[in-house]
């Protein structure tokens, strides 16, 4: 009769196991006195783990104990009892990407526990990175949820290259990559590491040069062009620091190009400004546009001398210098200046006998004509005014008196009078000789003329 009951229990437990996937029953080996049946609910767990209950059935007088065969299964505090009882247990989270199987041992039997594989998760750091235009080697760290988790890495940019076997790994690791140097604009590329995107930004390596770096412009203004050399895609801009310089075209651009600027006409002094193109300075030098005009254009001064004024017209900042072309014209002041101004001058008296004269006052490249009347007419006095000679002739002289500035010359139309020392200026002496009178020659009279006055010579006749 007892044998029949044991068979019935085994049949019932087997039927119950066939009808449920969440419990497992184990019946101990046939024992006349202490049969043990253990059932776990549930027997299958997700990767996150969880809690379950072990139900043990046996005769009231039968003692038993339970233990976890696998370390990731943890039983509650009561692991031993007598008769029917329940034991709680916990299944730890599974971090590995593989299904695992464990068991709880009850008496000399085991109740199987199965746990699902975990999904691999990765932390990639940094998720964004930056490198300079010079490029270089950088590192991206990979933290895996399990040492068994495998990952791969790749570059989606031709200027980012993975190095040192960084294309794949298992568990925690590093991805090393090299960024190639650039001479172009800022660019962004991506790495895909363990399924995550890492954005890499490289600073611009653009370099520009210009030609020419100086421009000379005339006073009338004009336009000039500067060539900009750089790599395609590199942007640049141009600006001026002077209101008289304007960008006509090429205010900004990308890649190689030109900047054209215009310079306004100037009526002032020479000036300098700059055009800056992507940090490069173009020096613009404009020639002086200063123009000086004078009034009046001419002035007349009497022989007694006097003074006058010349008005100078020039733009502010335009320097000028005045100078006299004649010693008898003196600049009273000022002789230099800038912008509009007035020049005073004086003219000394014209001496007796000096003819009318002309001089100039020049101011830069302009000039004012100064005309002065002739000095008073020269007055000449001859001392003595006459001399008598015998028929034999002889030598004589007379003095010419006048001011130093008065020139004179002596002449005679009489062939028998010969002159020496016949010219001069100021006081002087005229010397002459009288030839002998021929036999039978009558008395005769001759003259020497000096700029108007005459000296009379009388010679006796010869019988």
Q: What is the predicted pLDDT for the residue at 52?
A: 96
180 and 129 housed in the same domain: yes
14 Cβ contact partners less than 8 Å away, ≥ 6 residues apart: none
Choose the final residue of a domain: 349, 372, 395.
372
Regions of the chain short of the pLDDT cut 50? 1-31
Closest CA to 444 of 424, 418, 420, 462: 462
* CA–CA gap between residue 424 and residue 154 (Å, rounded): 115
**Model confidence over 206-234: pLDDT tens digits?**
999 999 999 999 999 999 999 999 999 89
Query: Around 318, how many Cα atoms within 13 Å sit in the side-chain half-sphere?
Result: 22
Residue 101 vs residues 115, 144, 215: alpha-carbon distances, Å: 6, 23, 86
215 and 173 housed in the same domain: no
Q: CB-based burial of residue 287 (10 Å sphere; 0-12 exposed, 13-18 middle, 19+ buried)?
A: middle
Choose the final residue of a domain: 286, 320, 342.
286
Q: What is the predicted pLDDT for the residue at 25?
A: 46
Q: What is the predicted pLDDT for the residue at 266?
A: 95
331 and 412 housed in the same domain: no
**Model confidence over 348-369: pLDDT tens digits?**
999 998 899 999 999 999 999 9
34 and 68 housed in the same domain: yes
* CA–CA gap between residue 260 and residue 241 (Å, rounded): 15
139 and 175 housed in the same domain: yes
* Distance from the first to the final alpha carbon of the chain: 225
Closest CA to 43 of 89, 93, 12: 89
320 and 351 housed in the same domain: yes
Joined tokens for residue 103: 């068991």
> In the sheet where 298-301 sits, what is the strand order?
298-301, 366-372, 357-363, 319-324, 336-338
Closest CA to 120 of 91, 153, 152, 147: 147
**Adjacent-strand bridge partners of 363:** 322, 366
96 and 25 housed in the same domain: yes
Q: What is the predicted pLDDT for the residue at 309?
A: 97
> In the sheet where 128-131 sits, what is the strand order?
128-131, 196-202, 187-193, 150-155, 168-170
Q: What is the predicted pLDDT for the residue at 31?
A: 45
Give the Cβ contact number of residue 265 at 10 Å: 13
Closest CA to 115 of 19, 43, 41: 43
Buried b (16+ CB within 10 A) or exposed e, 46-57: ebebeebebbbb
Give one DSSP letter per residue of 167-236, joined into a string: TEEESSEEEEEEEPP-SSS-EEEEEEETTEEEEEEE------EEE-SEEEE-TT-EEEEEEEE--TT-EE
Would you report the helix, strand and coil content of the chain in percent, each value rounded to 5? 5, 55, 40
Q: Report residue 149 CA to chain centroid gap.
A: 54
**Model confidence over 163-202: pLDDT tens digits?**
987 789 999 999 999 999 999 999 999 999 999 999 999 9
* CA–CA gap between residue 403 and residue 413 (Å, rounded): 26
190 and 255 housed in the same domain: no
In degrees and rounded to multiples of 5, residue 8 shows phi and psi of: -65, -40
| Domain of residue 333, residue span | 293-372
Choose the final residue of a domain: 372, 407, 424.
372
331 and 403 housed in the same domain: no
Contact in structure between 223 and 202 (CB atoms under 8 Å): no
Contact in structure between 208 and 230 (CB atoms under 8 Å): yes
197 and 168 housed in the same domain: yes
Contact in structure between 341 and 313 (CB atoms under 8 Å): no
Q: What is the predicted pLDDT for the residue at 32?
A: 52
Give one DSSP letter per residue of 337-383, joined into a string: EESSEEEEEEEPPPPTTPPPEEEEEEETTEEEEEEEPPPPPP--EEE
Number of domains in the chain: 5
CATH number of the structural domain spanning residue 269: 2.60.40.10
Buried b (16+ CB within 10 A) or exposed e, 105-124: ebbebbbebebebbebebeb
94 and 7 housed in the same domain: yes
Q: What is the predicted pLDDT for the residue at 397?
A: 96
Task: Name the region of 443 (left: φ>0; alpha: ψ -120 to 50; beta: rest).
Answer: beta
23 and 97 housed in the same domain: yes
> In the sheet where 257-263 sits, what is the strand order?
209-211, 222-229, 257-263, 245-249
């Amino acid at each position: 009769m007892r044998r029949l009951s044991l068979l019935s229990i085994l049949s019932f437990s087997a039927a119950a196991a066939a009808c449920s996937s969440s419990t497992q029953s184990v019946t101990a080996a046939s024992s006349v006195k202490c049969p043990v049946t253990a059932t776990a609910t549930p027997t299958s767990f997700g990767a996150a783990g969880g809690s379950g209950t072990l139900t043990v059935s046996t005769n009231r007088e039968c003692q038993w104990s339970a233990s976890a065969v696998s370390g990731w299964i943890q039983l509650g505090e009561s692991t031993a009892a007598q008769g029917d009882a329940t034991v709680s247990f916990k299944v730890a989270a599974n971090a590995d990407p593989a299904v695992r199987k464990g068991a709880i041992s009850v008496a000399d039997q085991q109740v199987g526990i199965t746990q699902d594989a975990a999904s691999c998760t990765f932390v990639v750091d940094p998720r964004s990175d930056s490198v300079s235009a010079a490029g270089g080697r950088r590192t991206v760290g990979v933290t895996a949820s399990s040492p068994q988790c495998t990952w791969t890495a790749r570059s989606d940019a031709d200027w980012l290259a993975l190095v040192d076997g960084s294309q794949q790994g298992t568990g925690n690791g590093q991805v090393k990559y090299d960024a190639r140097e650039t001479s172009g604009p800022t660019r962004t590329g991506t790495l895909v590491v363990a399924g995550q995107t890492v954005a890499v930004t490289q600073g611009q390596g653009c370099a520009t040069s210009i030609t020419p770096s100086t421009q000379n412009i005339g006073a009338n203004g004009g336009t000039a062009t500067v060539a900009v050399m750089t790599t395609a895609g590199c942007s640049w801009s141009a600006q001026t620091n002077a209101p008289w310089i304007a960008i006509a075209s090429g205010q900004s651009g990308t890649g190689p190009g030109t900047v054209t600027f215009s310079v306004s006409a100037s009526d002032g002094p020479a000036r300098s400004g700059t055009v800056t193109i992507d940090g490069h300075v173009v020096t613009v030098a404009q020639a002086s546009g200063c123009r000086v005009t004078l009034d009046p254009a001419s002035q007349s001064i009497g022989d007694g001398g006097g003074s006058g004024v010349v008005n100078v017209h020039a733009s502010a900042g335009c320097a000028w210098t005045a100078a006299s072309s004649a010693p008898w014209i003196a600049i009273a002041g000022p002789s230099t200046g800038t912008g509009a101004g007035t020049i005073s001058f004086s003219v000394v008296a014209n001496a007796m006998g000096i003819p009318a004269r002309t001089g100039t006052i020049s101011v830069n490249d302009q000039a004012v004509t100064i005309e002065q009347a002739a000095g008073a007419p020269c007055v000449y006095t001859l001392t003595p005014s006459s001399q008598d000679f015998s028929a034999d002739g002889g030598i004589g002289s007379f003095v010419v008196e006048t001011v130093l500035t008065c020139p004179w010359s002596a002449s005679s139309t009489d062939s028998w009078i010969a002159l020496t020392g016949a010219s001069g200026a100021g006081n002087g002496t005229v010397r002459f000789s009288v030839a002998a009178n021929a036999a039978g020659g009558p008395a005769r009279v001759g003259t020497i003329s000096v700029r108007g006055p005459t000296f009379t010579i009388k010679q006796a006749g010869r019988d």
